[in-house]
Chain A
Amino acid sequence: MPSLIDLTLEGRKVGQRRPWPRVVVDASVWTFAAAELAHGRWSLLGLWGEPATVHMAIMDGQTAEIAVVSLDCPNRSFPSVGRHHPPARRLERAINDLFGLSAEGSPDARPWLDHNRWGVRFPLGDRIDALPKAAPYRFLAAEGDGLHQIAVGPVHAGIIEPGHFRFTASGETVVRLEQRLGYVHKGIDGLMTGASLARGVQLAARTSGDSTVAYAYAFSRAAEAALDLVIPDRAVFLRALLAELERLANHLGDIGAICNDASFALMHAHCGVLRESVLRAAGAAFGHRLMRDVIVPGGVSRDIGADGVQAIRAALDNIRLRFPALVELYDNTASLQDRTVDTGTLKPPLARQYAAGGYVGRASGRTFDARRTLAYPPYDSLRFDVPVLDEGDVNARVWIRVREVEQSLSLIDQILSRLPQGPTRTEVPLGGEVRESMAIVEGFRGDVLVWLRLRNGLIERCHMRDPSWFQWPLLEAVIENNIVADFPLCNKSFNCSYSGHDL
């Protein structure tokens, strides 16, 4: 069996040196890689375009080796990966919408992000005029006696992001769910092009509001790797502190919100209070409740003072005091378990096929956690467990979050007690020639990937891949044969990002 190393030896090594190689390959090697993905020997981490090139990030699950393979597309097309490996399909549709590079042989050539409203087609490629009239979007067919459709969105009933869900149901049972996304597409890849690193990190931090730390973290790590920049130890630890606070706040919010969708508002109220205590501590320590714009290339923009440390410790103590009782309440409430156990089950093989990140993957037997598998500092020197379950239902996704809350509490303790002294930021060199790199950071939702190429210190191309790209399609799969009323529970237990996905 060829390893990723063999594959990279076949191609022509280019620019990117750290931390993983990138090679330019020909169409046959590209297709070979797609077949290996389809056989499950490798996982797809990302697939993105440039005006005349496509790139694919691949990981060998056995060895945690990662490589980027690139294919030039002089004819404005490339052999479809999605034809062999379904997780690539939406990514290919997005590449076509943005760059006009078509995936040859793809079973799904419908637009994805492009709703024909931009006034232009292929905005990042050879721009052409939009179609005079948008063709109606063809939802996939589901036929049979007594089936009916339920259309939901883009404006939902709650305070949530916009997207469209098309259910086909037989009575109460969902036969098929199809998502249509792209409503919050802001053209971030386009705005990144030509931007400075300072503006780039600002955009990265506004890609998905709940993962503002994770995005700034991944972006900054990519920029630093490209520039061979080593940042101060104190900044390394502060970044992990920020990331764990973000994880803690989001998991607490999610646990409550999932229970709320099972009409257990009591859990929601208590978890909401704990979440708020984390946000207030973060606000006291870093001047912003969501900790936005704190991580920047070169380090962090704000240091933490003694009162900040104290605010965080106080919030943690309070969570330690209150959280166990809430967990017990969850565990002992039959009416709640009745809704979450065996609901929306994601089978481990499917989680593996889609390389599902975060609690979605880890509740379905996938052990990947970028903090452990890729062991970037300071996590390589911190003690923590990566909780994994096999059940794959809503309940399992709740329990992974519960365990991760406990792990984050312990990680924050370790970080605060070992916080090195010294500067928190270092000068970012301009880096004259072309520099490129990639970084993967574990956000609360899963692995955030950022691939970056700089020229004369400016961003020539930046691609960010949210974990949701590989989680959204799985949500479609798990809802099948559940009742319509369980959709909110399934949806909340996934909590996919719209903005991060739509970009």
Chain B
Amino acid sequence: MRKLLFESVFRQPLTERAPLPDDAAVAELATALGQAARRRLGRSLSIREVDAGSCNGCELEIHALNNAYYDIERFGLRFVASPRHADVLMVTGPVTKNMREALERTYHATPNPKWVVAVGDCARNGGCFAGSYAVVGGVSAVIPVDLHIPGCPPAPTAMLQGLLALLERADAGAVTL
């Protein structure tokens, strides 16, 4: 077992493969993101993710930000368990009426200064669920949003781009990619 363990630790699967075409782009984006985060916040930016009614597709791609390809923590960006530890709320979903209060409470539990990033088409305006009796339709209908990242779901690179835009333009008011 121990042998295997060490083998898996030292034999880096990623370095053995030819780099994928967008790896360079991801690295460049990530560096810019890291610098922007440091400029604005010192060393780190904590993100609390809130699913306010998504199909879970957006969450799957947010999870991917943590995998070894994107490894978002290298840039001091990390996901935290409590809104009380967070600088950024990443909110997904068309905000169902059953989740509205929980989202509001999470927002109020997040200390100032804070930013809200609405991830996905649903979070922008309800997406294909807009008009249902059960959804509010868009995060900005419930709490103020600083940035929308479109996509269904947005790919991890689009989310990295979005975070970068947020950090670079956070003072300019709401940003839409």
- Is the Cβ of A270 less than 8 Å from the Cβ of B133? no
Residues from chain B with a CB closer than 8 A to the CB of A289 are 61, 155
Cβ of A133 to closest chain B Cβ, rounded Å: 14
What does the 1/0 interface line of B64-107 toward A look like (CB < 8 Å)?
A: 10111100000000010111000000000110111111100010
Size bracket, chain A contacts: 35 or more
- With both beta carbons as reference points, the residue of chain A lying nearest to B9 in the complex is identified as A266
- With both beta carbons as reference points, the residue of chain A lying nearest to B127 in the complex is identified as A206
What does the 1/0 interface line of A268-299 toward B look like (CB < 8 Å)?
A: 01101101100110010000011010000000
Residues from chain A with a CB closer than 8 A to the CB of B177 are none
- Is the Cβ of A118 less than 8 Å from the Cβ of B134? yes
Residues from chain A with a CB closer than 8 A to the CB of B4 are 325, 328-329, 332
- With both beta carbons as reference points, the residue of chain B lying nearest to A332 in the complex is identified as B1
Q: Which of B49, B96, B153 has the most CB of A within 10 A?
A: B96
| Interface positions of B from 119 to 143, Cβ below 8 Å from A | 127-129, 131-135
Partner of A190, one of B79, B98, B106, B132: B132
B5 CB-CB contact with A under 8 Å: yes
- With both beta carbons as reference points, the residue of chain A lying nearest to B122 in the complex is identified as A206
- Is the Cβ of B57 less than 8 Å from the Cβ of A118? no
User: Are A209 and B17 CB-contacts (below 8 A) given A118-B134, A272-B67?
Assistant: no
Residues from chain B with a CB closer than 8 A to the CB of A160 are 51, 59
Count of CB-CB pairs between chains A and B under 8 Å: 158
Cβ of B75 to closest chain A Cβ, rounded Å: 18
Cβ of B28 to closest chain A Cβ, rounded Å: 18
Partner of A187, one of B14, B60, B93, B133: B133
What does the 1/0 interface line of A257-272 toward B look like (CB < 8 Å)?
A: 0000000001001101
A477 CB-CB contact with B under 8 Å: no
Question: Which of the 9-residue segments A53-61, A72-80, A150-158, A397-405 touches chain B?
Answer: A150-158
Residues from chain B with a CB closer than 8 A to the CB of A118 are 97, 133-134
Residues from chain A with a CB closer than 8 A to the CB of B54 are 161, 184, 209, 499
- Is the Cβ of B17 less than 8 Å from the Cβ of A183? no
- Is the Cβ of B55 less than 8 Å from the Cβ of A280? no
- With both beta carbons as reference points, the residue of chain B lying nearest to A321 in the complex is identified as B13
User: Are A322 and B133 CB-contacts (below 8 A) given A206-B55, A207-B55?
Assistant: no
B24 CB-CB contact with A under 8 Å: no
- Is the Cβ of A191 less than 8 Å from the Cβ of B132? yes
B58 CB-CB contact with A under 8 Å: yes
- Is the Cβ of A186 less than 8 Å from the Cβ of B5? no
- Is the Cβ of A184 less than 8 Å from the Cβ of B59? no
Partner of A209, one of B49, B128, B153: B153
What does the 1/0 interface line of A471-503 toward B look like (CB < 8 Å)?
A: 000000000000000000000000001110000
- Is the Cβ of A273 less than 8 Å from the Cβ of B53? no
A340 CB-CB contact with B under 8 Å: no
What does the 1/0 interface line of B13-54 toward A look like (CB < 8 Å)?
A: 110010010000000000000000000000000000111111
What does the 1/0 interface line of A448-460 toward B look like (CB < 8 Å)?
A: 0000000000000
Q: Which of A120, A279, A283, A325 has the most CB of B within 10 A?
A: A279
- Is the Cβ of A158 less than 8 Å from the Cβ of B14? no
What does the 1/0 interface line of A116-133 toward B look like (CB < 8 Å)?
A: 011110010000000000
User: Are A154 and B60 CB-contacts (below 8 A) given A120-B133, A499-B54?
Assistant: no
- Is the Cβ of B60 less than 8 Å from the Cβ of A290? yes
- Is the Cβ of B135 less than 8 Å from the Cβ of A186? yes
- With both beta carbons as reference points, the residue of chain A lying nearest to B2 in the complex is identified as A332
A159 CB-CB contact with B under 8 Å: yes
B112 CB-CB contact with A under 8 Å: no
- Is the Cβ of A206 less than 8 Å from the Cβ of B57? yes
A185 CB-CB contact with B under 8 Å: yes
B7 CB-CB contact with A under 8 Å: yes
- Is the Cβ of B132 less than 8 Å from the Cβ of A159? no
A83 CB-CB contact with B under 8 Å: no
The CA-CA distance from A497 to B83 in the complex, in Å, is 24
A115 CB-CB contact with B under 8 Å: yes
Cβ of B70 to closest chain A Cβ, rounded Å: 8
Cβ of B41 to closest chain A Cβ, rounded Å: 21
Partner of B131, one of A191, A253, A266: A191
User: Are A273 and B68 CB-contacts (below 8 A) given A159-B63, A318-B17?
Assistant: yes
- Is the Cβ of A185 less than 8 Å from the Cβ of B96? yes
Residues from chain A with a CB closer than 8 A to the CB of B135 are 186-187
Residues from chain B with a CB closer than 8 A to the CB of A63 are none
Partner of B93, one of A119, A184, A325, A332: A184
- Is the Cβ of A187 less than 8 Å from the Cβ of B134? yes
- With both beta carbons as reference points, the residue of chain A lying nearest to B69 in the complex is identified as A276
User: Are A209 and B59 CB-contacts (below 8 A) given A183-B102, A272-B68?
Assistant: yes
Q: Which of B50, B63, B134, B155 has the most CB of A within 10 A?
A: B134
A369 CB-CB contact with B under 8 Å: no
- Chosen A-B contacts, 14 in total, with CB atoms closer than 8 Å, are A123-B134, A154-B102, A159-B79, A161-B59, A162-B51, A190-B132, A191-B131, A207-B55, A208-B56, A209-B55, A212-B57, A269-B68, A290-B61, A318-B13
A residues at B contact (CB < 8 Å):
115, 117-120, 123, 154-155, 157-162, 182-188, 190-191, 199, 202-203, 206-210, 212, 253, 266, 269-270, 272-273, 275-276, 279-280, 283, 289-290, 292, 318, 322, 325-326, 328-329, 332-334, 497-499
B residues at A contact (CB < 8 Å):
1, 4-5, 7-9, 13-14, 17, 20, 49-64, 66-69, 79, 81-83, 93-94, 96-102, 106, 127-129, 131-135, 152-153, 155
By Cβ-Cβ distance, the 4 closest A-B pairs, closest first, are A209-B57, A187-B134, A209-B56, A187-B132
